[in-house]
Amino acid sequence: MGYLLLIPLLYAFQSVAARHIQRVNLNLYAVGGFTYLFSALIYATMVGLKPTAMPPLYLYAGILLGALYVVTYLLFVPTLADRGVSVMAAMCQLSALVPMLASLLIWNEHPTVVRLAGAILCLIAMPMLALDKGVTDTELTLRKVLVFAGMVVFNGGVLLALKWFDEQHAQEHFAGFMLATFASAAVGMGVLWPLYRGHIGGQVVSWGALMSLCYAGATLVIVMALKTYEGAVVFPFAEAMAVALTVAFAALVWREVPGRVGLTGIALVTVAAVLINLR
């Protein structure tokens, strides 16, 4: 259960930290570049401590996953301009549907009825948290809907790739797979550096290093959680609980208090957490 609970904590910290970085006027794209760089260094250290010859398949898959990380990040940053927990950022959590459906339809998972009920409650809660007017005053436009759709597809692809790797039963190659992922993501952000006018500063590097612990840590604990829980349960729970924690933090610290709909969403996620951990 520890791994399952750690995932939303890391996800929520990513969202809260990104919002704070924006509030202090740091270049989020530059921070993202250093986040991927330090994440790659973390996994490079792990590979160095226990080197293993990795099949080319995981190298190519890691490069593709790195590209998905970059695209998702580029879509995510503009949504932070919205008040509070951005409706687009929150709705993006519905990308959990991608690996959830794949777990059920491709890998034929059979979670218990109780756990599946918890996962469904999470899916119901996510739009409630995102659309609550106490959380966001964002108005939906065609552009934002397209951004949302892109985030669902690409972030869903990130989650699906992690589920795919778990199904390979090649844990000994995980560090190499993630090294290829974050190294290619760092290269991608580096290539785009002139476009977002990134600059190197002490705070940018420091926040990148701190965020890397969350990014690198989240990928590791997701794979570990999948050893005990079905993907159809892990992904919706992690995404919904992360939104609930972020909403709660925003209410306590930034006084962006959710209304009845948002509070109902938090209650549903809490009930879901209990159901998912019942046998």
Which residues constitute the domain of residue 212? 2-276
CA dist., res. 195 & res. 79, Å (int): 18
CA dist., res. 108 & res. 106, Å (int): 6
Total domains in the chain come to: 1
Q: What pLDDT was estimated at residue 174?
A: 96
Segment 136-156, tens digit of pLDDT: 555 656 776 677 778 778 888
CA dist., res. 190 & res. 184, Å (int): 10
The pair of structure tokens assigned to 157 is: 């692809």
Query: pTM for this structure?
Result: 0.85
Report yes or no: 179 and 43 within 8 Å, Cβ to Cβ: yes
| Contact residues for 62 (Cβ-Cβ < 8 A; gap 6+) | 176, 177, 178, 179, 180, 181, 183, 184
The pair of structure tokens assigned to 102 is: 């794949």
| Rounded mean pLDDT, 57-62 | 96
The pair of structure tokens assigned to 125 is: 């809660």
The pair of structure tokens assigned to 231 is: 């993907």
- Phi then psi for residue 179, to 5 deg, are -65, -45
Report yes or no: 261 and 131 within 8 Å, Cβ to Cβ: yes
Segment 238-271, tens digit of pLDDT: 877 777 777 777 777 767 666 777 777 777 777 7
DSSP one-letter string for 169-192: T-GGGHHHHHHHHHHHHHHHHHHT
Q: What pLDDT was estimated at residue 36?
A: 98
| Contact residues for 237 (Cβ-Cβ < 8 A; gap 6+) | 4, 8, 118, 119, 122, 272, 273, 276
CA dist., res. 101 & res. 10, Å (int): 23
